[in-house]
Structure 1
Amino acid sequence: MSKTKKKKDYHEEHVDESWLVPYADLLTLLLALFIVLYAMSSVDQKKFADLTEVFNKEFQGGTSIFDNPSSILVNKEEIDSYNENNNKEEQTEKDYSDELTTQQLTEKSKQKDETELISVQRKLNVYIKAHNLQDKLVTSLTNEGLLVTFRDNILFTSGSAEISDKDKELVSEISNLLIINPSRHIIISGHTDNIPIKNAQYNSNWELSVSRAVNFMKVLLENDKLNPSNFSAKGYGEYNPIAKNTTEKGREKNRRVEILIQSGN
């Protein structure tokens, strides 16, 4: 009787605990699954590959959660850190992409604007050549836009700002070439040489240059297809020369009226 009781007590003290191993592995897999699901909420293919590598290293190490209970916590911290860094990289890439797109749009707009100005320049050059005005009118593209230069001796007599009827026909024809769609701002500017002027009408070259620019603009705006709100006039007098005033040829170049068709950008 006593032997049977002792044998029974012996078995009760040594319960088989082998079931803990698969149970621990099951818990590890479940926890890993939840972490993967959490991470995949903002994961792309690259991120998923990185996570797979992390878990492969963990499981191939041959340890369970009970052997190293802090391992999953460490991996979660690594994942959170990776997510944060990856989000920063994605934001940086997005900012760069937006900046690149803006630059591309700006460059495309500039190219379109330049193409339109070149088209207007070609029309003007065709007109100038057809009327043998190469020594009187000159066109050039600048950073500010398309510049059309009139030598003053084609429009004005010395010391005068009045345009003759014959020259008004020329200005009127030029006005038709300034009808642009979309419309642009156009600046008319008057310029003189440095020879002082003082007569009954004008006390300075400044006044003369302003009057020439305004009178020239008035003739242009007789064309009702042009919008006056797009036009303005300036007078520079002798203070914006394009040649030296020490020679007659240089002074002739400085006496001029300019049309600036401004760039759209």
Structure 2
Amino acid sequence: MSRKKHPEHVNHERWLVSYADFITLLFAFFVVLFASGQSDKKKQTQLAAAMQAAFSPVSMFEPHSKKPALTQGAAAAETIEPVAPPVPSPHSMDRTAAGVRKILEEQKKSAGLPPGSLTMHTTSEGLVISLQEAGFFTSGSAEVQQQSRQVLMKIAAALPAGPMRIEGHTDTVPIHTEQFATNWELSSERAIVIARYLFENGPVSPADLAVTGYAEFHPIASNATPEGRARNRRVDIILLSHPAALR
């Protein structure tokens, strides 16, 4: 006599096993993501600290905290405020003007520079010391003449610490040499050479200097005459009365 087969019991809760496995895998995935994120933050902190330490010896930035903040938010976003350059006082301006006049008188007695090659006047921006090409450079060159180097060193020593702008100017006669393609390059290179003399031989800081070349586009005299063109070929040292004019 054959036994009667009972119908197999169907387990309707097998999905719980698959669901539990899925939740476990999902949890593991987010744990990995969290761990990776923490590692990246640590590396970013180390990188920022290393960069800050690298810049500290040359005093390019003024550190406000030993550990740079990397989290978002207004409280964490520390800003580094630039240090404003010192403004020359009227007394230092007068002393500088007197010192340059003394140098000018010495040159007149020794006939070291051509007449009119070193002049001085005041504008709304500050004291302007003009160095004419005839006394400091040969035509088409940015190399300071030998007899003018001592004069530049004396001028540098007479200048006060503070913001100043060095401007190179030319006349309208075009130039095209192997070294200077246009008057832009010539005027800029002359201004750079004078700026280097100033901060290498005086109290002027390179951070307080702005150097620019204007070519022939800022004349002070007519370019229609040789005399006017000679006046336009110059480098101006401007002792700025306002630090904002340096930017």
Greater percentage in helix? 1
Flag as ranges the 4+ runs of structure 1 deviating above 6 A: none
Query: What amino acid maps onto 2:130 in structure 1?
Result: T
1:160 partnered with 2:141: yes
Structure 2 counterpart of 1:125, from 101, 122, 131 = 101
Is 1:201 matched up with 2:179?
A: yes
- Give the deviation of 1:115 after TM superposition: 4.1
**Structure 1 residue 229, shift from structure 2 partner:** 1.1
Amino acid at match of 2:134: N
Question: Do the aligned partners of 2:153 and 2:198 also contact (CA within 8 Å) in 1?
Answer: yes
Which residues of 2 match residues 32-111 of structure 1 at below 5 A?
A: none
CA offsets per residue over residues 53-80 of structure 1, 9 Å max, x none? Answer: xxxxxxxxxxxxxxxxxxxxxxxxxxxx
Q: Give runs of aligned pairs for residues 230-249 of structure 1, distance below 5 A.
A: 230-249=208-227
Aligned in 2, Cα 1:123/1:224: closer, same or farther, shift over 3 Å? closer
SS in 2 for 1:201: coil
Could you say what secondary structure the match of 1:195 adopts? coil
Q: Matches of 2:195 and 2:89 in 1, distance apart?
A: 24
| Preserved contact between residue 156 and residue 202 of structure 2 (Cα < 8 Å) | no
Amino acid at match of 2:133: D
Q: Write the distance in 2 (CA, Å) between the matches of 1:261 and 1:235.
A: 17
CA distance in 1, matches of 2:120, 2:107: 15
Larger Rg: 1
Q: State the distance in 2 between where 1:126 and 1:261 align.
A: 18
TM-score by length of 1: 0.54
Asked whether the equivalents of residues 153 and 202 of structure 2 are also in contact (C-alpha less than 8 Å), the reply is no
Structure 1 residues without counterparts, runs of 5 or longer: 1-109
Partner of 2:92: 116
| 1:205-216 superposed matches below 5 A | 205-216=183-194
Listed as ranges, the matches of 1:19-34 within 5 Å are none
Q: Paired residue for 2:207?
A: 229
SS at match of 1:221: helix
* 1:150 correspondence with 2:131: yes
Answer whether contact 1:184 1:263 (CA < 8 A) is retained: no
Letter in 2 for 1:154: G
Is the Cα–Cα contact under 8 Å of residues 186 and 259 in structure 1 kept in the other structure?
Answer: yes
How far apart, CA to CA, are the structure 2 residues paired with 1:141 and 1:164? Answer: 26
1:220, distance to aligned residue in structure 2 (A): 1.8
Identity between Structure 1 and Structure 2 (%): 33
Would the aligned equivalents of 2:103 and 2:151 in 1 still touch at CA under 8 Å? no
Offset at residue 199 of structure 1 (A)? 0.9
Per-residue deviation, residues 149-193 of structure 1 (Å, max 9, x unmatched): 011111111111111333222111110001x2xx31011111000
- Other-structure match for 2:158: 177
- Matched-pair contact (CA < 8 Å) for 1:113–1:264: no
TM-score, with structure 2 as normaliser: 0.57
Computed over aligned residues only, the root mean square deviation of the Cα atoms, in angstroms, reads 2.0
Deviation at 1:140, TM superposition (A): 0.9
Amino acid at match of 1:135: G
Q: Which residue in 1 is equivalent to 2:197?
A: 219
TM-fit CA distance, 1:119: 2.7
